[in-house]
Amino acid sequence: AQSVTQPDIHITVSEGASLELRCNYSYGATPYLFWYVQSPGQGLQLLLKYFSGDTLVQGIKGFEAEFKRSQSSFNLRKPSVHWSDAAEYFCAGGYQKVTFGTGTKLQVIP
């Protein structure tokens, strides 16, 4: 069955520190992969997407993600976190029927 796993439920980082959020997928073939961000009480905003080609994908707000087929991973990274990045982050995969992970809640401390 198709699935997306986010192993970290909650992550705390200091402002200015680097960030990596983990995502693993299980699909028969390489799916479309996405990262979304959700602020409290809001919908989801698309940060970046991977369809094919260059495995390092640049997104909005300074985020990037790297697709690694050998590890079935699509981890999200940011070199320097800002307090406004505190939110919940969802990894997702699929074509028409998109499957979401359970999310990672990011806390940023001063």
Partner 1 sequence: DAGVTQSPTHLIKTRGQQVTLRCSPKSGHDTVSWYQQALGQGPQFIFQYYEEEERQRGNFPDRFSGHQFPNYSSELNVNALLLGDSALYLCASSLKPDQPQHFGDGTRLSIL
Q: Rule CB under 8 A: which residues touch partner 1?
A: 32, 34, 36, 41-46, 49, 90, 92, 95-103
Q: Least distance (Å) from partner 1 to the CB of residue 39?
A: 10
Among residues 1, 3, 2, the alpha carbon closest in space to that of 102 is found at 3
Minimum CB distance to partner 1 smaller for 87 or for 92:
92
The distance of closest approach from Cβ of residue 56 to partner 1 in the complex, given in angstroms and rounded to an integer, is: 18
The tokens for 33 are: 């992969």
The token duo for 9 is: 């439920």
Question: Are 101 and 36 in contact, with CB atoms under 8 Å apart?
Answer: no
Distance CA 69, CA 30 (A): 8
Nearer to partner 1, 18 or 42 (CB): 42
Q: Is residue 78 classed as helix, strand or coil in its secondary structure?
A: strand
The nearest distance, CB 29 to partner 1, in angstroms, is 13
**Between 10 and 18, CB nearer to partner 1:** 10
